[in-house]
């Protein structure tokens, strides 16, 4: 069994940037479970599955073969053998991922892959249900959050820097809707595990959050 650090939290809290840096500092593997749900969403969109049809999502999802490889330390998501990293970050895929990840069969399909990685490697794994469902015995659990305004501002800046035209209010609304779905679904809703440490990144720099998580790790564990 590897040493496991679970980082959960809402969209835009900075989980992936921070988890990647923490993994780099400790020479652990970074596992981005959101990318797996996004790959599933891409598969469903490509198959033109109606996002409101739960039964169809449940049936079609079993045909998606999703796996992970690491090349030069970067996580590559393979969907039926093809590297789909370049297609995972669009708003359309994110929205479909938020809807389809509420489906129990989608979650079941990805659970073994996530647990398998954590069993055979030292991992920093980020997502929504890592500390509560996927790795309930993780050595360190962090619940990383930030206010909806802060998260919307970060997303707005990120998109503007890429030269994309975007509307702050639209982004904020989308974040609030995504929180609502992620936190209130029946299966594996986003919530802080009882033994997770709450870290609010609203007023903290990335480096300060990384330092805080490393401090918590060193305090709790010598894996
Ligand atoms: O973290 P992200 O934005 O890449 O995740 C995309 C969607 O996948 C998100 O709306 C919720 C879902 N997700 C999930 O339900 N469980 C996880 N462990 C990771 C992501």
222 pLDDT more than 90: no
Q: How far is the CA of 161 from the centre of ligand 1 (A)?
A: 23
Position 216 scores a pLDDT of 97
In the prediction, which pLDDT does 223 show? 55
More confidently predicted of 51 and 31: 31
Model confidence at 129, pLDDT cuts 50, 70, 90, reads very high
Q: 31-121, which class in CATH?
A: alpha beta
CA of 179 to the centre of ligand 1 (A): 10
- CATH number of this structure's domain 1-28+124-223: 3.40.50.300
**Mean pLDDT (whole number) for 17-32:** 96
Portion of the chain with pLDDT greater than 70, in percent: 99
- pLDDT for 51 beyond 80: yes
Q: What is the mean pLDDT of residues 26-48?
A: 97
Give the best-scoring range by mean pLDDT among 89-98, 170-179, 208-217.
208-217
Cα torsion at 154, 191, 134, 30 (round to 10°)? Answer: 20
Q: What is the pTM of this model?
A: 0.92
**Beta bridge partners of residue 70, listed in sequence order:** 75
Asked if residue 50 lies in contact with residue 102, where contact means CB atoms within 8 angstroms, the answer is no
pLDDT band at 1 (very low <50, low <70, confident <90, very high): confident
Average pLDDT over residues 140-164: 94
- Average pLDDT rounded to a whole number, residues 31-36: 96
The whole-number pLDDT of residue 2 equals 87
Nearest CA to ligand 1 atom 20: 34
Q: Whose CA is nearest to atom 14 of ligand 1?
A: 128
Average pLDDT score over residue span 105-116: 95
- For residue 151, what are its two tokens? 């998260």
Q: Is the dihedral of CA 104, 60, 11, 124 positive or negative?
A: positive
Query: Probe ligand 1: pick from 33, 92, 102, max atoms within 8 Å of CB?
Result: 33
Domain ranges within the chain, ordered by starting residue:
1-28+124-223, 31-121
Which of 110-119's residues contact partners 24+ apart within 8 Å by CB, and which partners? 110/33, 110/36, 110/37, 110/40, 110/66, 113/36, 113/66, 113/67, 113/68, 114/31, 114/33, 114/36, 117/29, 117/31, 117/68, 118/1, 118/2, 118/4, 118/31, 119/1, 119/2
Domain 1-28+124-223 and domain 31-121, same fold? Reply is yes
Q: How far is the CA of 171 from the centre of ligand 1 (A)?
A: 17
What's the rounded Cα separation, in Å, for the pair 72 and 194? 35
Q: Residue range 31-38: average pLDDT? A: 96
* Cα–Cα distance, 212 to 164 (Å, whole number): 33
Task: Determine which residue's CA is closest to atom 6 belonging to ligand 1.
Answer: 34
Q: Which residues line ligand 1 (CB under 6 A)?
A: 11, 33-34, 37-38, 94, 97-98, 101, 127-130, 178, 182
Q: With 80 as the cut, is the pLDDT of residue 7 above it?
A: yes
Mutate which of 57, 98, 102 for ligand 1? The one with the most ligand atoms within 8 Å of its CB, which is 98
Measured from the Cα of 129, ligand 1's closest atom is 18
Using the mean position of ligand 1's atoms as its centre, give its distance from the Cα of residue 1 in Å.
Answer: 24
CA dihedral sign, ordered 130, 90, 76, 218: negative
Give me the chain's average pLDDT, please. Answer: 94
Q: Using the 8-state DSSP alphabet, how is residue 10 labeled?
A: -
| DSSP designation for 47 | T
Tell me the average pLDDT across 176-191.
93
């Amino acid at each position: 069994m590897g040493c496991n650090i679970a980082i959960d939290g809402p969209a835009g809290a900075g989980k992936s940037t921070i988890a990647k840096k923490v993994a780099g500092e400790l020479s652990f593997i970074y596992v981005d479970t959101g990318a797996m749900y996004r790959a599933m969403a891409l598969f469903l969109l490509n198959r033109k599955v109606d996002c409101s049809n739960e039964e169809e999502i449940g049936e079609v999802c079993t045909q998606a073969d999703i796996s992970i490889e690491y090349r030069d330390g970067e996580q590559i998501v393979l969907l039926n053998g093809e590297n789909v990293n370049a297609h995972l970050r669009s708003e359309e895929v994110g929205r479909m991922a938020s809807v389809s990840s509420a489906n129990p069969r989608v979650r079941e399909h990805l659970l073994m892959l996530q647990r398998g990685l954590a069993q055979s490697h030292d991992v920093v794994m980020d997502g929504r249900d890592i500390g509560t469902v996927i790795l309930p015995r993780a050595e360190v659990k962090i619940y990383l959050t930030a206010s909806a305004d802060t998260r919307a501002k970060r997303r707005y800046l990120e998109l503007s820097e890429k030269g994309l035209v975007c509307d702050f209010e639209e982004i904020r609304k989308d974040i609030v809707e995504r929180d609502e779905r992620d936190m209130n679904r029946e299966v594996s809703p986003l919530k802080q595990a009882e033994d997770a440490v709450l870290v609010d990144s609203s007023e903290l720099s990335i480096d300060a959050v990384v330092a805080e998580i490393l401090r918590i790790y060193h305090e709790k564990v010598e894996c």
